[in-house]
Amino acid sequence: MNTKINEFINQIRIFKGLPEYQNFRIETSLREDLELESFDLAELTVKIEDEFGVDIYETGLISTYGEILNKLNKN
Amino acid sequence: MNFLNDDDRVYTYKDLTDSIASNSFYVEYFISNNLFDFFSNIIKALYTDSPIVLLDEKIDISLSSQIDSNKINKATIIQIDSKVSINEILEKVKKSKSKITIFTSGTTGRPKKISHDVRNLISNVRFNNLNNNVTWGLAYNKSHIAALQVFLQAFCNLSYIINLFQKPKNIILDKMLSKDITHISATPTFYRMLFPCEYIYVHVQRISIGGEKPSEELFKKLSYIFPNAKINNIYASTETGTLFVSNNDIFTVPDIISHLIRFENNELLIHYSLLGDFNDFKLQNDFYRTGDLVEFLDLDCTKFKFVSRNSNQINVGGYKVNPEEVENILETINGVNNAYVYGIDNPVTGKLLCADLIISKGFNINEVEIKNSLKSLLSDYKIPRRIKFVNNFNFTKTGKLKR
């Protein structure tokens, strides 16, 4: 699961001209560390929902990598 | 007196005056990634009653056919007194006879060109109490009409502008505190990105929401973090500029323009005298059909809510995208036989742009390659963020795709 999420995030980063991110941690911030903007986060939510069938924003906005994993683990 | 803060570089109104007075030229079709130069060029055009066209750094390929590339960044000589003061500039700008041209996604796949009289745009400017220090957060793309209105509002009051466009959340929140931003005009997507938010911004006086239909939940959240702000919901478009303003999601037609507004089958129609000059709008008895549908809340039909905005276009985070324009571009990519572009609901941007593609036999092309091809052809917000490869479309195609 983590590998797939990392792949989605890095696809978005590469499209933006950013290098691949390696050091994913629970506390990694989607906006500050991964530099994802609103359109990027929108894309990420759809890709995760397509892959895992879970809307990670269903119960409110999230801000860290760990929160994505938590949402998916709960489902 | 500060004029602009962009990427932590601060420009004063003296810098602006010097830049205007020291150059005896301006550029009608100016492309620049420097916000100060971009604004300074606008003021030079307005000061000399010259026409100006607002362009993004990246011109869509569909737009390039409407613009003579020889005119881009070509300087035109103008006469400006080298000792002119900022107040003299301001007074002349307020009476400027310039026309400002802006491009917007058309409904036919071809961008619409709309020219506004500066005097009409300036008639929407509110003049501040002199004792009130106003600092604007600029959260729109500089070539869009919403940014132009924020710029004119700030410049006409000699207020400070902080560029927040496409800045990360932590920088926006930091600037909101450290620069004491008092006024922000932005899309619901911009405001949604601020949450979760740990701070309360008591110094913020006005929050304007435009571009998309905001939810009641967003109003509540904004009222909480900006407890002293007047929250305005604005109905505006590239064609009209600001038309209606409300402090919630219920609008009324101002008396002064009531004879210029009509509703037909709950669709909003606007008299052409409220529109800028345009090249390809279709009018019906002098009225422009907006495609925006309303729901009336009283029997006299004076109070209304917007139910849906322009059905042809997809509103992605406040930016209107014409799906047919994107389909036409996608179909120019080698191997793409047929394209269908649509929006799906998304909690972050309201809608997310998606494309289904039918690929010609014998071609092998992936999502990343398609997106990379689009980078040089379309503005970022028009690039579909999810691309699926399909064998056929699941609906009837009768000349026009059913959306």
Shortest CA gap A42–chain B (Å): 5
Q: Which residue of B has its CA nearest to A36?
A: B168
Most confident of B59-63, B84-88, B394-398: B84-88
CA–CA separation, B29 and B74 (whole Å): 7
Shortest CA gap A66–chain B (Å): 16
pLDDT digit string, tens, across residues B294-335 = 889 888 778 898 876 666 678 888 888 888 788 888 988 998
Q: What is each CA distance from B150 to A68, B43, B160, B167, B391, in whole angstroms?
A: 36, 14, 11, 17, 46
On the question of pLDDT at B280 being above 70, the answer is no
Contact B301/A at CB under 8 A: no
Contact B169/A at CB under 8 A: yes
Q: What is each CA distance from B42 to B14, B156, B362, in whole angstroms?
A: 16, 13, 50
* Mean pLDDT for chain B overall: 86
Q: What is the pLDDT of residue B395?
A: 52
pLDDT digit string, tens, across residues B197-244 = 888 999 999 999 987 777 777 888 899 999 999 999 988 877 777 888
Q: What is the pLDDT of residue B61?
A: 61
Indicate yes or no: pTM above 0.90. no
Q: Which residue of A has its CA nearest to B196?
A: A61
Q: What is the pLDDT of residue B130?
A: 64
pLDDT digit string, tens, across residues A12-63 = 999 888 999 999 999 999 988 999 988 999 999 999 999 998 888 877 778 8
Pull the structure tokens for residue B86: 């900022």
Q: What is the pLDDT of residue B396?
A: 42
pLDDT digit string, tens, across residues B93-129 = 999 999 999 887 655 445 678 889 998 888 878 887 7
Percent of chain B with pLDDT over 90: 40
Q: H helices of B226-276, where?
A: none
